[in-house]
A = this chain, B = another copy of it.
Amino acid sequence: MLYLIGLGLGDATDITVKGLRAVKSCSRVYLEAYTSILTVGKEALEEYYGKQLILADRDLVEQGADEILKDADVTDVAFLVVGDPFGATTHSDLVLRAVNAGIPYRVIHNASIMNAVGCCGLQLYNFGETVSVVFWTETWKPESFYDKICKNRAAGLHTLCLLDIKMKEQSIENMMRGKKIYEPPRFMTVSQAAEQLIQIIERRRSEEEEELGVTEDTVCVGLARLGADDQAVRAATLRQLASCDLGGPLHSLVVTARLHPLEVDMLRLNAAPDALQHLRMIDSSTYTS
């Protein structure tokens, strides 16, 4: 049996009882380590499970699936994923390979950012399409996520922005020389994402005449380490978030749309003191009852 087990968000104890039992029963346990991270590392999980974990980076999952699935028809193998196994990133490919090899699989679900984002008080059924924000390079500055946010906003829907993670990144120099030397992992912060959005807004403002769908004064929510003891939730304008420090990874950003009064009240619990004015503004103008 192949178990795909969600670890949830936060720390080692966010696994479900069902998931923990499955981990303990498996002969090999892989930890997917390239789409998300917990606030604790591999060692803390190993100690908690009383088991060795095998780190599964992108190469292993995409090219070494046979190794992961080896003997899984006669023994139990676990594949651990931070959040939910079918959360922001699906592991459909691994499942399809298992099925093709005649290996049964079972999914043990858990929280992911896709639903835990509701804790900021915005209602999940008021969210539109989720977008990803990638680190820009000198030569590659995609803006399509901005258009999707505007489209959601025009339809009265909030947007969850998943922020880029760079694991095992090679410098161009090392890549050219074929050296498998990796840069330290990078995790996009709320402030970096807000800064990129503001750059897009400024560029478009200078080029376009029509009113922009999202501006520096749009109320957004910065989220960090959701589910952990030290999680941070900050409701503020985009401009304010560009200069905020929410601490260590992972971060996510929500761009709000039309707000329900109850959503405003919830955002106020986590509003930066200097953002209250903007939330008050919302009270009297943009939200609908």
Bound CA span A262–B90, Å: 10
Q: A17 touching B9 by the CB < 8 A rule? A: no
The one of B8, B12, B18, B129 in contact with A10, judged by C-beta atoms closer than 8 angstroms, is: B18
Complexed CA–CA distance, A265 and B98 (Å): 13
| One of A64-72, A113-121, A133-141 at the interface | A113-121
Residue A155, interface by CB 8 Å: yes
B128 to A129, Cβ gap below 8 A? yes
What is the 8 Å Cβ interface bit string for chain A, positions 123-152, against chain B (1 contact, 0 not)? 111111111100000000000000000010
Q: Could you say which residues of chain B place their CB within 8 Å of the CB of A14?
A: 16-18, 108-109
Q: Which of B12, B114, B123, B131 contacts A115 (CB 8 A)?
A: B114
A residues 19-35 touching B (CB-CB < 8 Å): 20-21
**Residue of A13, A118, A127, A157 with most chain B CB atoms under a 10 A cut-off:** A118
The answer to whether A6 has its CB under 8 Å from any CB of chain B is yes
- Contact B95–A266 (Cβ < 8 Å): yes
B8 and A110 within 8 A (CB): yes
Closest residue of chain B to A260 (Cβ to Cβ) is B92
Query: Could you tell me how many residues of chain A have their Cβ less than 8 Å away from some Cβ of chain B?
Result: 59
Instruction: Give the interface SS of chain A, mostly helix, strand, loop or mixed.
Output: mixed
Q: Is A249 an interface residue (CB 8 A)?
A: no
Does residue A269 face the partner (Cβ distance < 8 Å to B)? yes
Cβ–Cβ < 8 Å partners of A227 in chain B? 108-109
Interface residues of A (CB under 8 A from B): 6, 8-18, 20-21, 83-88, 90, 92-93, 95-96, 99, 107-112, 114-116, 118-119, 121, 123-132, 151, 155, 157, 162, 226-227, 262-263, 265-266, 269
25 residue pairs of the A-B complex, CB under 8 angstroms, read: A8-B110, A12-B17, A13-B21, A14-B16, A15-B17, A86-B115, A87-B115, A90-B118, A90-B121, A92-B262, A92-B265, A95-B121, A96-B262, A108-B227, A109-B115, A110-B111, A111-B111, A112-B115, A114-B115, A115-B115, A125-B129, A125-B132, A128-B129, A129-B155, A129-B157
Additional 18 contacts, C-beta under 8 A, given A14-B109, A109-B115:
A13-B16, A13-B18, A14-B16, A14-B18, A14-B108, A15-B17, A84-B111, A90-B123, A95-B266, A96-B262, A96-B265, A109-B111, A109-B226, A114-B114, A125-B130, A126-B129, A127-B130, A128-B129
